[in-house]
Amino acid sequence: MLAALRRLWSTGVAGNPVSLRRQIELCNQVGLFGAAATVPYQFFYFFYDFALYRGVFLANLIFIAAYLLVLLINRRGWYNTARNLLLVNASCQLFVVTFFISAGAGVHLFYFTLAAILVFLFQYLHVLLYIAIMTAFGSLYVAAHFLFPQGSVAAPVPSPWIDIMYAGSVAGVLTLSGVFLYLFRKNIDQAESELTINNRYLETLSSTDPLTGLANRRGLDETLEREWARLSRHPAPLSVIMCDVDHFKLFNDRYGHDGGDRCLQQIATTLKDIVSRPSDLVARYGGEEFALVLPGTGEEGARYLGEKLREAVRELAVPNADVGTGARITISVGVTSIDHFRSDEAACLLKRADTALYQAKENGRNQVVFLPYNSPRSSGNGGS
């Protein structure tokens, strides 16, 4: 039943922005409630004394039709027209019904509900328009309350029915206001949740390299700064590895940019597969360069991992014919480690790894060079 009602009050929301969808749903909900809330009164008028209440009964038929028309108009996409019809129809109905059966039934109390949800029915409500509509609601309530006392109307409701109607009107106003505000609160919570998810997605996109799916330079810098700050609080080893694809320009010239992109994607996948710890980061530094941040990894582990990366890329057996007969894609690897915090900037560790990488390329490529963070001397291993 609730699912059917939800589909009914969602009429016309498809294809609209989230904020407008909430307002269309609220408009439909008020229209459905207005039509449904009128039906019990109609049964009373029809069965108690139809001749006496003929006028208000027929007027309510028109008002019910207008409430249902609101849903059809929203379905056509004419939201402003539907909203205006809803407000005018509800305001007129409350006044007309009070005119027929007196203020003692409390029907005009529903003006308070309209006032409570008014601000949620407009996407952009100018303060002067808001004041004007609220003033109109207040004026209609005061007029209905004082102009139509029990003894001056055409079809007064006798006691105890008048008291029952008044109690029902009060309960209806409180329930309706609470339900609509609760539903809107849920919509706000959902919108905030969606916004949070979207923000996280955008943050992920801003820190992700679109070609390889690895972290980009921004993600690398953020991670390195974070690990450097952690090192200041909790002393532990921290290693950085820089990798560069050897003779990549020759490969790109021969196989084209599409071939070069596929090659980089293969290498990125290989690096990511080897680095398995959640705390480790693999990033595309730029062009054909990659960088790895390895918290908790010292010199021995970093050397081993650097060699493992070099060998894994070589075993991809991606040909690079312009380098020589039988040549394949390889990488040069620079490694550095630090085992305690220093007052330098985190970027200095990255620069040290880049210096090690430069030496690896100068020494003939396809090899791993390790430089301790505080030593200019190097040691290397690898093969051609």
Residues marked active site are found at 288
Phi, psi (rounded to 5 degrees) for 51: -60, -40
Those residues whose C-beta lies under 8 Å from the C-beta of residue 359, and which sit 6 or more positions away, are: 334, 369, 371, 378, 380
Q: Residue holding tokens 């994607």?
A: 265
**In 3-state terms, what secondary structure has residue 245?**
strand
Tell me how far apart the alpha carbons of residues 373 and 348 are, in angstroms, rounded to a whole number: 9
Q: If you ran DSSP here, which 8-state letter would residue 242 be given?
A: E
**Beta-strand relationship, 238-245 and 281-286:** unpaired
DSSP 8-state symbol, 366: S
